[in-house]
């Protein structure tokens, strides 16, 4: 999911929702915490933590300062969050929306959880609004929905590999987003596509003379061509099943660390 602040620029925040550290690892930096950490020029990374988000919510909106851990209140929050749908999710989404609302960054990119959770996160402000008749928590849902429902500011970018199961999940996710939220899929990224070996190389690999002379190269070329053909079939399924949504093709590559951080931060052309 990507959210854009009102002004244009280069300051980008990457938010990792599942706190596994995969984003930081890909950028070659230490695991990020709740406080955004620099990952390169114009780029910061943070890891979502609902306890810290609750602490920040209470400090900003209810003017309740917290110096130490929440203690008993945290246990109460866990009990309420487990019983009431949307509470834990709205704290995570609320933090993301808050950064957009305050204009702290020009672009906020959320590395969301698995497709089974992202719809609940995006729809959590509307869920809270329907369940809570009044109070400060319900009051916060209005401005969150203004951001999440605005196609000029928020959209979901679904990244998938061109394989049968991921493509099926992507199609189902797009349908759920359209049915259960007002935040639509703005782009589908087909990731890690086989570069392919070209028609000439495929013909050469199938030639008995070449396969006898260079069997390993022939097998490699044939396998690459077969993977590329299977992926093209899956890409065609994506285009047909998620109509009207641009599809971006990303070939298999090994960009990582500082090079990846520079690319995401906008330093590379």
pLDDT reading at 80 higher than 50: no
Q: Would you place residue 16 in the very low, low, confident or very high pLDDT band (cuts 50, 70, 90)?
A: very high
Strand order in the sheet with 154-161: 37-40, 43-47, 12-16, 107-111, 2-4, 154-161, 185-193, 247-251
User: Is residue 245 scored above 80 in pLDDT?
Assistant: yes
pLDDT above 50 (res 7): no
Report pLDDT for 269.
39
- pLDDT reading at 38 higher than 80: yes
Query: d(Cα 261, Cα 267) in Å, to the nearest integer?
Result: 9
Please give the structure tokens belonging to residue 185.
């899929």
DSSP 8-class letter at 259: H
Instruction: Output the CA angle 189-191-197, nearest 5 degrees.
Output: 125
Task: Report the distance separating Cα 59 and Cα 86, nearest Å.
Answer: 21
Q: 10 Å Cβ neighbour count for 98?
A: 20
The yes-or-no verdict on residue 32 having pLDDT over 70 is yes
**202 near 172, Cβ under 8 Å?**
no
Rounded CA separation 13/257 (Å): 16
Q: Could you tell me how many residues make up the chain?
A: 269
CATH superfamily of 2-265: P-loop containing nucleotide triphosphate hydrolases (3.40.50.300)
Q: Residue with structure tokens 């090994």?
A: 254
CB neighbours of residue 149 within 10 Å:
16
Q: What percent of the chain has pLDDT over 90?
A: 38
Check whether 170 has a pLDDT greater than 70: yes
Enter the pTM of the model.
Answer: 0.77
Mean pLDDT, range 200-216, rounded to an integer: 72
Q: What are phi and psi of 44, to 5 degrees?
A: -130, 155
């Amino acid at each position: 999911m990507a959210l854009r602040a009102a002004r244009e620029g280069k300051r980008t925040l990457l938010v990792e929702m599942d706190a596994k550290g995969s984003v930081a690892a890909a950028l070659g930096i230490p695991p990020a915490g709740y406080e955004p950490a620099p990952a390169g020029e114009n780029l910061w990374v943070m890891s979502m933590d609902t306890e810290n988000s609750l602490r920040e919510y209470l400090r900003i909106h209810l003017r309740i300062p917290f110096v130490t851990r929440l203690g008993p209140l945290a246990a109460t929050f866990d009990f309420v969050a487990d019983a009431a749908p949307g509470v834990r999710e709205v704290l995570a989404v609320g933090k993301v929306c808050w950064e957009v609302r305050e204009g702290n960054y020009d672009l906020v990119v959320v590395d969301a959880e698995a497709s089974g959770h992202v719809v609940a996160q995006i729809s959590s402000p509307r869920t809270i609004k329907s369940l809570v008749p009044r109070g400060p928590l319900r009051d916060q849902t209005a401005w969150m929905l203004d951001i999440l429902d605005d196609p000029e500011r928020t959209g979901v970018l679904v990244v998938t590999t061109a394989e049968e199961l991921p493509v099926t999940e992507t199609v189902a996710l797009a349908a759920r987003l359209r049915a259960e939220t007002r935040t639509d899929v703005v782009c589908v990224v087909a990731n890690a596509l086989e570069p392919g070996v070209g028609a000439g190389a495929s013909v050469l690999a199938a030639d008995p003379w070449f396969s006898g002379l260079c069997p390993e190269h022939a097998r490699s070329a044939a396998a690459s061509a077969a993977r590329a053909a299977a992926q093209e079939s899956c890409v065609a399924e994506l285009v047909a099943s998620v109509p009207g949504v641009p599809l971006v093709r990303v070939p298999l590559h090994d960009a990582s660390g500082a090079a990846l951080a520079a690319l995401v931060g906008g330093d590379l052309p």
